[in-house]
């Protein structure tokens, strides 16, 4: 059963009674008029029939009180005995609520195709009313488009044209449902950073190839002041770009945040960043809050990306974000690929972005009136300086010491007196740009020694950054090869062979050797008959000499 049909079957029915608090002014006035007659008839000691007869006589002679006369005038006429009897009984049972008008009208009869129309209309491809009506007619239902439209529009919002079954649950929740409004004025600057990655909506010239390319911006935003404290522009969202942006923020402001609010992407939840023992978050004692997947509104930095694209991205002709001119964009990219137009460089985009950041930081704070974002950051920041002065932040991994050596990433390192730790597990801190050394630590974080690179296998890049790039290029090549193989397989399956032309070519080809008919000769089986002759039996003496003959 379609979920829309199940929801339709479970719709609550209209209540048979109406409470006094929910009744309108007109209904309350009608109840008060009825109560006037009910109280008058109840005050007469006689039975209802005699009381009603006496009231009718008084009305005809004009001997009734003005209140009774006005009540009958409001009702239009004196009600019948059965109606008055029901009013008196309802008044005794429910009080004034029993006298409220409860007429809901005749219940509308739903068409026999209503459930099928719900199932057809609430599809993810969003069919129109006419399409649903055509399908119903094909299924032997009598329905027209206007009837389907009237039926759908009479349903609650969740079963109407903007239902979650047509829009999707996520989009329906974001557009039509209520959401939490979070205040951040109680969060001091520097306490909580929000980070996320965003593929910029501008085609740039790749620094190496010059081809069209969209870079990935990784940014860290302070939630309390809304300032951008660190950012990095790279190929794609990764743990390396996250580490670079975070360390740049810590080094620039000489401050370590207490918490990070990040998503569940690989750049933030990788082992290098989030490992409880030797991850980057653990090194700086930073608590992390991972956002619910698909809930972009909970991240403050998403609004920054939207604001940034409006102020920075739309300055470039190769903009491809929302409200862009697709025809103009395709023309720009075509001319760029033909060499007729130059794509914007990375330096040009960075210059526009840094100028935008200056204006953004000096703009008014959205919650704290009378102050800019930069003023809130400078006045409220309580610095928590990092412990190291040279500020070399090294990603860490666990290594085992064997024969006075440790091995990490296909590299072998040694140090004096390292053999004293043989058989133990230590923590190695490595530099992404320089693989000539390692720092060894205890599990408690205590520094032990520096190990030097002893030997290096062939075909290993000197930098781990280069190694990651080579690995990424290898994976991209594999994906392209799979795509090419799929294209070739589809071409082989769809190839059409003209059988008639093949047969014609085969018929026109001369034979390699001429075919000759064999020469036949008539033969009689009697010619091969063998006559039998009586012959004497041969004796052994005819062939050999025995001893008796000697």
Last residue of a domain, one of 356, 380, 404: 380
Q: How confident is the model at residue 98 (pLDDT cuts 50, 70, 90)?
A: confident
Instruction: Assess whether pLDDT exceeds 90 at residue 356.
Output: yes
Q: What pLDDT shows up at residue 389?
A: 47
Q: What pLDDT shows up at residue 487?
A: 74
Answer yes or no: is 474 within a domain.
yes
Residues 226 and 308 grouped into a single domain: yes
Segment 462-466 shows an average pLDDT of 63
Segment 76-97 shows an average pLDDT of 83
Answer yes or no: is 47 within a domain.
yes
Torsion, CA 457, CA 458, CA 463, CA 469, rounded to 10: -120
Residues 151 and 229 grouped into a single domain: no
Residues 413 and 367 grouped into a single domain: no
CB 56 within 8 A of CB 78: yes
Q: What is the largest CA-CA distance in the chain?
A: 186
**Among candidates 98, 134, 90, which has minimal Cα distance to 116?**
134
Segment 527-542 shows an average pLDDT of 54
Q: For 114-138, how does the pLDDT look when each residue is reduced to its tens digit (9 = 90+)?
A: 999 999 999 888 899 999 999 999 9
Q: What pLDDT shows up at residue 509?
A: 52
Answer yes or no: is 546 within a domain.
no
Q: For 160-194, how does the pLDDT look when each residue is reduced to its tens digit (9 = 90+)?
A: 898 898 988 888 887 888 777 777 878 899 999 99
Residues 366 and 443 grouped into a single domain: no
What is the distance between the alpha carbons of residues 128 and 144, in angstroms, rounded to a whole number? 12
Residues 120 and 230 grouped into a single domain: no
Answer yes or no: is 366 within a domain.
yes
**Among candidates 290, 120, 321, which has minimal Cα distance to 196?**
290
Answer yes or no: is 48 within a domain.
yes
Q: How confident is the model at residue 21 (pLDDT cuts 50, 70, 90)?
A: confident
Last residue of a domain, one of 99, 128, 144: 99
Residues 299 and 255 grouped into a single domain: yes
Q: What percent of the chain has pLDDT over 90?
A: 21
Q: Name which residue leads in pLDDT, 240 or 371.
A: 371
Instruction: Assess whether pLDDT exceeds 70 at residue 461.
Output: no
Answer yes or no: is 199 within a domain.
yes
Instruction: Assess whether pLDDT exceeds 70 at residue 206.
Output: yes
Instruction: Assess whether pLDDT exceeds 70 at residue 52.
Output: yes
Residues 364 and 406 grouped into a single domain: no
What is the reported pTM?
A: 0.60
Residues 247 and 129 grouped into a single domain: no
Domain range for residue 133?
A: 114-164
Q: What is the mean pLDDT of the chain?
A: 81
Instruction: Assess whether pLDDT exceeds 80 at residue 460.
Output: no
Residues 316 and 403 grouped into a single domain: no
Least confident piece of the model among 244-258, 354-368, 522-536:
522-536
Instruction: Assess whether pLDDT exceeds 70 at residue 532.
Output: no
Q: Mean pLDDT highest for which of 88-97, 219-228, 391-400, 414-423?
A: 219-228
Q: What pLDDT shows up at residue 129?
A: 94
Residue 51: CA count within 13 A, CB half-sphere: 17
Answer yes or no: is 493 within a domain.
no
Number of domains in the chain: 4
Q: Would you say the C-alpha torsion 16, 18, 24, 25 has a positive or negative sign?
A: positive
For residue 262, which phi and psi values (nearest 5 degrees)? -130, 170
Instruction: Assess whether pLDDT exceeds 90 at residue 221.
Output: yes
Last residue of a domain, one of 99, 129, 150: 99
Q: How confident is the model at residue 288 (pLDDT cuts 50, 70, 90)?
A: confident
What is the distance between the alpha carbons of residues 278 and 441, in angstroms, rounded to a whole number? 10
How, if at all, do strands 259-262 and 192-199 pair? parallel
Segment 480-494 shows an average pLDDT of 74
Instruction: Assess whether pLDDT exceeds 50 at residue 511.
Output: yes
Q: How confident is the model at residue 432 (pLDDT cuts 50, 70, 90)?
A: low
Instruction: Kindly state the helix (H) or strand (E) to which residue 219 belongs, with its residue range.
Output: strand 216-222
3-state secondary structure 388-426: CCCCCCCCEEEEECECCEEEECCEEEECCCHHHHCCCEE
Segment 349-364 shows an average pLDDT of 93
Q: Name which residue leads in pLDDT, 108 or 88.
A: 88
Q: How confident is the model at residue 300 (pLDDT cuts 50, 70, 90)?
A: confident
Residues 202 and 260 grouped into a single domain: yes
Q: What pLDDT shows up at residue 19?
A: 74
Residues 34 and 121 grouped into a single domain: no
Q: What pLDDT shows up at residue 306?
A: 92
Which structure tokens are listed for 243? 């580490």
Q: How confident is the model at residue 235 (pLDDT cuts 50, 70, 90)?
A: confident
Answer yes or no: is 352 within a domain.
yes
Residues 365 and 222 grouped into a single domain: yes
496: left (phi over 0), alpha (psi -120 to 50) or beta: beta
Q: How confident is the model at residue 59 (pLDDT cuts 50, 70, 90)?
A: confident
CATH number, domain at 303? 3.30.420.10
What is the distance between the alpha carbons of residues 446 and 427, in angstroms, rounded to a whole number? 10
Q: What pLDDT shows up at residue 299?
A: 80
């Amino acid at each position: 059963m379609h979920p829309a049909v199940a929801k339709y079957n479970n719709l609550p029915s209209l209540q048979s009674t109406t409470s006094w608090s929910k009744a309108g002014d007109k209904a309350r006035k009608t109840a008060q008029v009825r109560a006037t007659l009910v109280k008058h008839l109840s005050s007469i000691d006689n039975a209802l029939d005699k009381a009603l007869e006496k009231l009718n006589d008084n009305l005809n002679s004009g001997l009734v009180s003005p209140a009774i006369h006005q009540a009958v005038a409001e009702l239009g006429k004196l009600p019948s005995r059965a109606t008055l009897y029901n009013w008196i009984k309802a008044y005794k049972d429910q009080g004034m609520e029993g006298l409220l008008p409860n007429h809901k009208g005749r219940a509308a009869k739903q068409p026999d195709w209503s459930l099928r129309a719900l199932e057809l209309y609430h599809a993810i491809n969003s069919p129109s009313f006419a399409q649903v009506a055509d399908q119903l007619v094909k299924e032997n239902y009598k329905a027209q488009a206007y009837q389907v439209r009237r039926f759908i529009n009479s349903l609650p919002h969740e079963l109407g044209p903007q239902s979650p079954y047509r829009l999707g649950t996520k989009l329906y929740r974001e557009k039509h449902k209520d959401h939490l409004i979070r205040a951040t004025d109680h969060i001091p600057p520097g306490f909580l950073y929000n980070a996320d990655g965003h593929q910029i909506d501008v085609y740039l010239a790749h620094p190496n190839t010059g081809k069209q390319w969209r870079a990935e911006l990784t940014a860290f935003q302070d939630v309390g002041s809304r300032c951008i404290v660190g950012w990095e522009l790279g190929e794609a969202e990764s743990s390396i770009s996250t580490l670079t942006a975070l360390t740049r923020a810590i080094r620039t402001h000489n401050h370590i945040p207490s918490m990070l609010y990040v998503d569940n992407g690989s750049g933030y939840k990788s082992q290098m960043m989030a490992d409880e023992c030797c991850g980057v978050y653990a090194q700086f004692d930073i608590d992390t809050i991972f956002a619910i997947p698909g809930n972009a509104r909970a991240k403050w930095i998403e609004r920054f990306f939207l604001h940034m694209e409006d102020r920075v991205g739309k300055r470039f002709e190769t903009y491809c974000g929302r409200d862009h001119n697709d025809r103009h964009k395709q023309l720009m990219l075509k001319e760029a690929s033909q060499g007729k137009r130059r794509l914007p460089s990375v330096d040009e985009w960075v210059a526009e972005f840094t100028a935008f950041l200056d204006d953004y930081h000096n703009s008014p704070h959205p919650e704290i009136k009378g102050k800019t974002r930069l003023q809130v950051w400078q006045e409220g920041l309580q610095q928590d300086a990092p412990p190291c002065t040279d500020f070399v932040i090294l990603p860490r991994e666990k290594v085992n010491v064997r024969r006075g050596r440790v091995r990490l990433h296909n590299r072998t390192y040694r140090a004096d007196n390292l053999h004293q730790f043989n058989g133990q597990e230590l923590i190695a801190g490595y530099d992404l740009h320089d693989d000539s050394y390692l720092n060894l630590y205890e599990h408690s974080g205590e520094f032990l020694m520096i190990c030097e690179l002893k030997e290096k296998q062939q075909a290993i890049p000197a930098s781990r950054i280069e190694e990651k790039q080579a690995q990424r290029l290898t994976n991209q090549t594999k994906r392209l090869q799979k795509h090419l193989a799929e294209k070739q397989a589809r071409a082989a399956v769809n190839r059409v062979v003209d059988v008639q032309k093949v047969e014609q070519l085969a018929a026109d080809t001369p034979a390699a050797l001429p075919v000759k008919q064999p020469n036949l000769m008539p033969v009689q089986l009697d010619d091969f008959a063998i006559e039998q002759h009586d012959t004497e039996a041969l004796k052994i003496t005819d062939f050999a000499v025995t001893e008796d003959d000697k």
